[in-house]
């Protein structure tokens, strides 16, 4: 199912060889539990959570879900590809603007624009990726940042089309989603499907090649792998899901404005990935929860949200590069290995 014909076992064993050299990376686990039970249990938990919490928290949860998709999509590049993009906000913003402008200019149906949004973002990601990926490392980060600024400037200066700095506000959401719990469940469904699809991408042979490029670009080139095209595909896939996240954003915010496209907006999914653990698949999602709830709690008590955020980020980057899930999984594995060894010597 994962690999379209390639036996699944081959993929897993290859995964293991690549990743054993880098403990912080996403790692294979007992496949049945990881592939079926984890998503089912987490989804069930989230559904229950939706019925338990109050309406305010429900809104925050909706925000979190959009950010979960945004952060996981950004981490496709960051964690899998080792590509630092300060431009993912472009696709997030374009996703939101697709819904908003479709409504504003052409009175398109919400459902059409919602599912069109990721496609539009992916289409824009093709030329952006074609140019930006010609640059390497820091130059790549700088180029993506500059593309973000270009998008921001366009959104702000083309007043006739985008309503400029004011942004577009409107009743975008159809009646089927205005009820908070129904809106939440819809977003949850979209999130679960997106995560499963992205999980499939990271577990596919394509994902393996992407991680191998991150580890040793020259070797992959020598093996005849077209690094540029693999990274471009990853960039477009990431753009697709960032666009979807932007469309999700519109559902609870009922708006779209230029700041969504700004490069500093690209910083937040990177934060989430770093907090939760870039090397793990669900790390960014966990990071999104902590980030958003942390934000909502903190702004009640302190005015210096950025100061706290920057401080936390700095400390994590300096002293805890694996993030939460990254170090959790690390600990478990070394313990497991130890106990296995002990078990072996007893016999």
Partner 1 sequence: MDSGSIITNLIGILTTAGTLFMVAAGLTLVFGALRLINIAHGSFYMYGAYFATTLSAHLAGAGFWVALVVCPLAVAVMGALVEVLVLRRLYRREHLTQLLATFALLLIFADIALRLWGKDVRSIKPPSALSGHFQFAGAAVPIYNLFVIGVAVLVAVGLWALMSRTKLGWRIRAVVDDPEVLASSGTNVPLILTGVFALGALLAGLSGVVIAPQQAVQPGMDAEIIVAAFIVAVIGGLGSIVGAAVGSLVIGVVETLGAVWTPSWASTFIYALMILVLAIRPWGLFGEAER
Per CB under 8 A, residues contacting partner 1 are 78, 82, 84, 131-132, 134-139, 141-143, 145-147, 149-150, 153-154, 157, 263-264, 267, 270, 274, 304-307, 309-311, 313-314, 317-318, 321
Which of 136/182 has CB closer to partner 1? 136
Taking Cα atoms as reference points, which of 198, 218, 222, 237 lies closest to residue 26? 198
Which letter does DSSP use for residue 24 in this model? T
Select 22 or 105, whichever has its Cβ closest to partner 1: 22
Query: Which of 49/142 has CB closer to partner 1?
Result: 142
Are 248 and 201 within 8 A, CB to CB? no
CB of 25 to partner 1, least distance (A): 13
Nearest to 144 by CA among 213, 239, 212: 239
Q: How far is the CB of 302 from partner 1 (least distance, A)?
A: 10
**Nearest distance, CB of residue 12 and partner 1, angstroms:** 27
CA 36, CA 226: separation in Å to the nearest integer? 33
Q: How many CA atoms lie within 13 A of 324 on its CB side?
A: 17
Q: Which is nearer to partner 1, 40 or 135 (CB)?
A: 135
> Quick one: 200 or 330, whose CB is closer to partner 1?
330
How far apart are the C-alpha atoms of 8 and 11, rounded to whole Å?
5
SS3 state of residue 320? coil
For 117, the token pair is: 């949004």
DSSP per-residue string spanning 5-70: TS-HHHHHHHHHHHHHT-TTS-----HHIIIIIHHHHHHHHHHHHHHHS-HHHHHHHHHHHHHHHH
In the numeric block, which tokens belong to residue 32?
Answer: 């049945």
Contact of 32 with 8, CB cutoff 8 Å = no
Q: Which is nearer to partner 1, 177 or 275 (CB)?
A: 275
Local structure of residue 133 (DSSP, 8 states): T
Report whether 273 contacts 290 (CB < 8 A). no
Q: How far is the CB of 189 from partner 1 (least distance, A)?
A: 33
Task: In angstroms, give the least distance from the CB of 230 to partner 1.
Answer: 17
Phi, psi of 322 (to 5 degrees): -80, -15
Which of 50/81 has CB closer to partner 1? 81
Nearer to partner 1, 62 or 262 (CB): 262
Rounded to 5 degrees, what are φ and ψ at 174? -70, 160
CB of 136 to partner 1, least distance (A): 5
Minimum CB separation of residue 110 from partner 1 in Å reads: 30
- 3-class secondary-structure state, position 168: strand
CB of 54 to partner 1, least distance (A): 30
Tell me which residue of 153, 143, 141, 139 sits closest to 93, measured CA to CA.
153
CB of 39 to partner 1, least distance (A): 28
Parallel, antiparallel, or unpaired: how do β-strands 255-256 and 168-169 relate? Answer: antiparallel
- The token pair at 145 is 């940042």
Instruction: Give the residue with the Cβ less far from partner 1, 39 or 321.
Output: 321
């Amino acid at each position: 199912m994962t690999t379209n014909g390639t036996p699944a076992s081959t993929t897993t064993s290859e995964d293991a060889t690549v990743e054993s050299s880098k403990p912080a990376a996403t790692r294979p686990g007992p496949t049945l539990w990881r592939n079926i039970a984890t998503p089912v249990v987490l989804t069930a938990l989230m559904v229950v959570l939706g019925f338990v919490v109050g309406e305010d928290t429900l809104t925050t949860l909706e925000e979190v879900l959009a950010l979960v998709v945004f952060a996981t999509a950004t981490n496709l590049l960051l964690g899998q590809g080792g590509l630092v993009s300060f431009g993912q906000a472009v696709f997030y913003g374009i996703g939101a603007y697709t819904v908003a402008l479709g409504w504003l200019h052409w009175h398109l149906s919400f459902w059409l624009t919602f599912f069109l949004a990721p496609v539009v973002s992916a289409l824009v990601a093709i030329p952006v990726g074609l140019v930006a990926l010609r640059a390497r490392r820091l130059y790549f980060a700088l180029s993506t940042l500059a593309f973000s600024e270009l998008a921001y400037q366009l959104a702000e200066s083309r007043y006739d089309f985008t309503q400029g700095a004011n942004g577009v506000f409107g009743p975008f959401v159809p009646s089927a989603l205005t009820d908070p719990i129904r809106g939440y469940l819809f977003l949850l469904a979209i999130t679960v499907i997106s995560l499963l699809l992205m999980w499939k991408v990271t577990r596919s042979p394509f994902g393996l090649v992407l991680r191998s490029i991150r580890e040793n670009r020259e070797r992959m080139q020598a093996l005849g792998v077209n690094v540029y095209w693999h990274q471009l595909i990853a960039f477009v896939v990431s753009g697709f899901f960032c666009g979807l996240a932007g469309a999700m954003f519109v559902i609870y915010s009922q708006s779209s404005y230029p700041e969504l496209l700004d490069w500093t907006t690209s910083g937040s999914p990177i934060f989430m990935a770093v907090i939760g653990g870039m090397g793990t698949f669900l790390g960014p999602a966990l990071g999104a929860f902590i980030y958003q709830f942390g934000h909502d709690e903190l702004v009640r008590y302190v005015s210096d949200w950025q100061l706290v955020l920057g401080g936390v980020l700095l400390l994590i980057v300096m002293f805890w590069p694996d993030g939460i899930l990254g170090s959790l999984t690390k600990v478990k594995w070394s313990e497991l290995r130890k106990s296995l060894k002990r078990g072996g010597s007893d016999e």
